[in-house]
């Protein structure tokens, strides 16, 4: 009897709570049904069509001067002067580096003195030979001594010439790792000079595509730093491939282009066979965070679609289109104007 008195009040409370929730849900649904309908939006539409899309890949390249030389010394010696600075423009034959020449000058003087002595000895013996006071063998030996002395003198003269390093061509100084007072040794870089009026792009072609590249082919490239597009001729193709990267280096000569500098980053474009792809006008895509949205017009109603886009394509009519990889089918109508504030399900008034 006591248990019955406890259960009945609890049951009555539970039923009252359930009835109250049902009434609240009913009133909420009734409020939603009473919302005013969305107004008709005035829009323009376009059809999802197929267009020829350029199929191409981009390779990383580097702008470089065709003429570039790393200046170093052929002999050891202290640097007396470097009369050029970074960015200095020089002409062919201009002095770049002057080395100390004390020891070499002494060697040249010694070789000159020995040559003069050998010539005097030869002249004396030739006069004695005419008087039968000398032997032909002695004259021949002195002639050999003169030739040896001449060779030693020319060697010393050549070594002295190495103390003055001149520009091998017209160009600009792009690197200067050495300074006056440094010790120059054979092979140690002192300066880097590059020609300004003739540039090229160095890039590596994948081994699967190198068979399609030949000398004289025209390739296109973009230099992002200066937003410059250039075209060039393939001037060199390596006969071997790099076994580590499976690529083959090539050089593309682009000539003189004012805003470009040696060492800049370049993107080289290689065109492949053309393919057809679904496209829509650029204005049809409405970005929303990381998503790409498109509104489709169907039965005069806007329907929201999430799409995956590809590359941008310039149409034959001059307009810009976007490749659609998924989310739409050919022939559907997409909204291209008045779509920034649209809602899915909103009625449409198509212009």
Any idea which of 25-39, 128-142, 197-211, 225-239 has the lowest mean pLDDT? 25-39
Is residue 63 predicted with pLDDT exceeding 50? yes
Residue 17 binned pLDDT confidence (cut-offs 50, 70, 90): very low
- Average pLDDT of the segment spanning 79-86: 94
For residues 307 and 285, the answer to whether their CB atoms sit within 8 Å is yes
Is residue 41 predicted with pLDDT exceeding 60? yes
Instruction: Quote the pLDDT of residue 28.
Output: 46
Neighbours of 29 (CB within 10 A): 10
Is residue 320 predicted with pLDDT exceeding 60? yes
Residue 16 binned pLDDT confidence (cut-offs 50, 70, 90): low
* Higher-pLDDT residue of 182, 351: 182
Instruction: Quote the pLDDT of residue 190.
Output: 95
Instruction: Quote the pLDDT of residue 65.
Output: 93
For residues 199 and 262, the answer to whether their CB atoms sit within 8 Å is yes
Q: Helices 136-161 and 102-130 sit at what angle, rounded to 10 degrees?
A: 160
CATH number of 101-162: 1.10.287
Instruction: Quote the pLDDT of residue 125.
Output: 86
Q: Decide: residue 329, CB within 10 A, 0-12 exposed, 13-18 middle, 19+ buried.
A: exposed
- Average pLDDT of the segment spanning 48-68: 86
Options 1.10.1270.20, 2.102.10.10, 2.60.40.10, 2.40.30.170; CATH for 59-66+195-271 is: 2.40.30.170
Residues of the chain with CATH 1.10.287: 101-162
- Average pLDDT of the segment spanning 332-350: 90
| Long-range contacts formed by 125-129: CB under 8 A, 24+ apart | none
Residue 14 tokens read as 């539970």
* Higher-pLDDT residue of 33, 166: 166
Residue 1 binned pLDDT confidence (cut-offs 50, 70, 90): very low
For residues 230 and 254, the answer to whether their CB atoms sit within 8 Å is yes
Residues of the chain with CATH 2.40.30.170: 59-66+195-271
Is residue 79 predicted with pLDDT exceeding 60? yes
pLDDT digits (tens, 9 = 90+) for 147-205: 999 999 999 998 999 999 999 999 999 999 999 999 999 989 999 999 988 999 999 99
**How would you classify the pairing of strands 247-255 and 56-65?**
unpaired
Return all residues near 133 (Cβ < 8 A) that are at least 6 apart. Answer: none
Which CATH fold topology does 41-53+275-350 show? 2.40.420
Residues of the chain with CATH 2.40.420.20: 41-53+275-350
Instruction: Quote the pLDDT of residue 94.
Output: 95
């Amino acid at each position: 009897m006591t248990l019955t008195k406890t259960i009945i009040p609890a049951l009555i409370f539970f039923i009252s709570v359930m009835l109250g929730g049902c009434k609240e849900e009913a009133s909420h649904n009734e409020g939603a049904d009473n919302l005013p309908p969305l107004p008709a939006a005035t829009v323009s539409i376009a059809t999802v069509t197929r267009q020829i899309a350029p199929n191409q890949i981009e390779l990383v390249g580097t702008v470089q001067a065709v003429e570039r030389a790393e200046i170093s010394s052929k002999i050891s010696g202290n640097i007396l002067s470097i009369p050029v600075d970074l960015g200095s423009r020089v002409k062919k034959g201009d002095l770049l580096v002057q080395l100390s020449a004390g020891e070499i000058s002494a060697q040249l003087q010694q070789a000159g003195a020995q040559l003069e002595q050998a010539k005097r000895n030869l002249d004396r013996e030739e006069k004695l030979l005419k008087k039968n006071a000398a032997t032909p063998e002695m004259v021949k030996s002195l002639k050999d001594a003169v030739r040896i002395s001449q060779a030693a003198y020319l060697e010393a003269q050549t070594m002295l010439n190495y103390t003055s390093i001149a520009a091998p061509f017209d160009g600009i100084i792009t690197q200067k790792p050495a300074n006056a007072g440094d010790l120059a040794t054979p092979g140690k870089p002192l300066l880097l000079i590059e020609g300004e009026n003739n540039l090229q792009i160095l890039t590596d072609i994948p081994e699967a595509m190198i068979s399609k590249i030949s000398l004289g082919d025209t390739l296109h490239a973009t230099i992002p730093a200066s937003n410059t597009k250039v075209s060039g001729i393939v001037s060199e193709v390596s006969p071997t491939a790099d076994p580590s990267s499976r690529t083959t280096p090539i050089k593309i000569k682009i000539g003189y282009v004012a805003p470009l500098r040696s060492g800049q980053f370049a993107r080289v474009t290689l065109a492949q066979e053309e393919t057809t792809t679904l496209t829509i006008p650029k204005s049809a895509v409405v970005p929303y965070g990381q998503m790409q949205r498109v509104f489709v017009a169907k039965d005069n109603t806007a329907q929201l679609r999430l799409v995956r886009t590809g590359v941008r394509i310039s149409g034959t009519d001059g307009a810009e289109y976007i490749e659609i990889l998924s989310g739409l089918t050919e022939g559907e109508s997409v909204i291209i104007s008045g779509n920034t504030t649209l809602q899915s399900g909103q009625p449409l008034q198509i212009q």
